[in-house]
């Protein structure tokens, strides 16, 4: 399941910055909404990065073409 907020690694990848203050500055320059946590790190909600009306759903494999024994149906 995907978390509510981006991970620290995802924020680092998104901003290209490692330091909290640099990440905050980069997010502000990009116009990405964020909050500052008590520890000074930025919190970015996943829903703020999705297009309007889009939702995040967990994807599951489609087993409809499989037989009950796990082999591919003809």
Task: State the Rg of the chain over Cα.
Answer: 19
Place of tokens 């290209």: 16
Q: Of 25, 60, 66, which Cα lies nearest the Cα of 42?
A: 25
- The pLDDT of residue 1: 43
Q: Of 8, 3, 6, 4, which Cα lies nearest the Cα of 39?
A: 8
Give the three-class secondary structure for 43: strand
State pLDDT tens for residues 60-73. Answer: 667 677 777 767 66
State pLDDT tens for residues 20-54. Answer: 999 999 999 999 999 999 999 999 999 998 877 56
Q: Where are the domains of the chain?
A: 8-49
pTM, rounded to two decimals? 0.67
């Amino acid at each position: 399941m995907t978390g509510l907020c981006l991970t620290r690694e995802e924020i680092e990848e998104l901003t290209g910055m490692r330091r909290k203050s640099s990440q905050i500055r980069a997010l502000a320059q990009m116009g990405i909404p964020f909050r500052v946590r008590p520890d000074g790190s930025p919190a970015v909600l996943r829903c703020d990065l999705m297009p309007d009306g889009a939702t995040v759903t967990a994807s599951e494999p489609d087993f409809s073409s499989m037989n009950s024994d796990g082999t591919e149906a003809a």
